[in-house]
Amino acid sequence: MPPNREQYPSCSPERIHPRGTRYGRQVRERLVLVVLVLVASAGTAQAWGRGTNLVRRYRPGQRMVYRTSIETEAKIRSNPEGLKAFLPPLPTRLSTRQQNTVTVRSVSPEGVAEVENRFDEFELESNLPDLVSEENRDSTRAAQEDLGKLVRGQTLTVRYDRSGKLLGFEGTEAVLGDLDPPLRQAAQQMLRLFLEQMGGHSLYPGYRVKKGEEWKQKLDASPAEGFPFQVEGESTMRFIGKARYRGVKAAVIDFNFTNILRPSMPSLREAGPLAQLASRGMALDIKIDGQGQGRMLVALDDGRVLQNHATIRQTLSARLNTAAGVHLPVAGPLTVDVDSQTRLELEGEGQPGH
What pLDDT does residue 247 have?
A: 92
Residue 44 pLDDT > 60: no
User: Which range (71-80, 83-92, 187-196, 289-298) has the least confidence?
Assistant: 187-196
* Torsion 14-15-20-26 (CA) sign: negative
User: Which range (148-157, 172-181, 282-291, 323-332) has the least confidence?
Assistant: 323-332
Residue 208 backbone dihedrals phi, psi, to 5 degrees: -75, 140
Confidence of residue 271 (pLDDT cuts 50, 70, 90): very low
What pLDDT does residue 258 have?
A: 92
Distance CA 267, CA 269 (A): 5
305: number of Cβ within 10 Å: 24
Predicted confidence (pLDDT) per residue in 337-350, tens digit: 999 999 989 899 88
Q: Kindly give the pairing relationship between strand 155-160 and strand 305-322.
A: unpaired
Residue that wins the pLDDT comparison between 221 and 257: 257
Mean pLDDT of 194-198: 69
User: Which range (51-65, 194-208, 277-291) has the least confidence?
Assistant: 194-208
Residue 58 pLDDT > 70: yes
Asked if 326 and 282 count as a contact pair (C-beta separation under 8 A), the reply is yes
Residue that wins the pLDDT comparison between 206 and 254: 254
Question: What value does the mean pLDDT of the chain take?
Answer: 77
Distance CA 53, CA 253 (A): 10
Asked if 97 and 121 count as a contact pair (C-beta separation under 8 A), the reply is yes
> What dihedral do alpha carbons 45, 231, 227, 277 form, nearest 10°?
130
Residue 236 backbone dihedrals phi, psi, to 5 degrees: -125, 125
Asked if 159 and 114 count as a contact pair (C-beta separation under 8 A), the reply is yes
Give pTM, 2 decimals: 0.77
Distance CA 21, CA 108 (A): 45
- Which of 125-129, 280-284, 347-351 shows the highest mean pLDDT? 125-129
Cis peptide before 89 (omega within 30 of 0): no
Distance CA 228, CA 251 (A): 35
What pLDDT does residue 89 have?
A: 83
Q: Kindly give the pairing relationship between strand 166-170 and strand 113-126.
A: unpaired
Residue 224 pLDDT > 80: no
The DSSP result for 153-197, as a single string, is: T-EEEEEE-TT--EEEEE--HHHHTTS-HHHHHHHHHHHHHHHHH
User: Which range (42-46, 71-75, 241-245) has the least confidence?
Assistant: 42-46
Distance CA 198, CA 202 (A): 12
What pLDDT does residue 29 have?
A: 65
Q: Which residue ranges make up each domain of the chain?
A: 14-351
Predicted confidence (pLDDT) per residue in 13-43, tens digit: 333 333 345 666 667 666 666 666 655 555 4
What pLDDT does residue 311 have?
A: 93
Closest by CA to 62, choosing from 302, 327, 336, is 302
46: number of Cβ within 10 Å: 24
Q: Kindly give the pairing relationship between strand 113-126 and strand 93-107.
A: antiparallel
Residue that wins the pLDDT comparison between 295 and 18: 295
What pLDDT does residue 159 have?
A: 94
Q: Give the distance, in angstroms, between the CA of residue 259 and the centroid of all CA atoms in the same chain.
A: 13
Long-range contacts of 285-288 (CB under 8 A, 24+ apart): 285/317, 285/318, 285/319, 285/321, 286/262, 286/316, 286/317, 286/318, 286/319, 287/260, 287/261, 287/262, 287/316, 287/317, 288/37, 288/260, 288/261, 288/262, 288/314, 288/315, 288/316, 288/317
What pLDDT does residue 95 have?
A: 92
Residue 104 pLDDT > 50: yes
Residue 186 pLDDT > 70: no
Asked if 154 and 174 count as a contact pair (C-beta separation under 8 A), the reply is yes
- The shares of helix, strand and coil residues in the chain, as percent rounded to the nearest 5, are 30, 45, 30
Mean pLDDT of 39-68: 65
Residue 200 backbone dihedrals phi, psi, to 5 degrees: 80, 20
What pLDDT does residue 185 have?
A: 67
Asked if 190 and 35 count as a contact pair (C-beta separation under 8 A), the reply is no
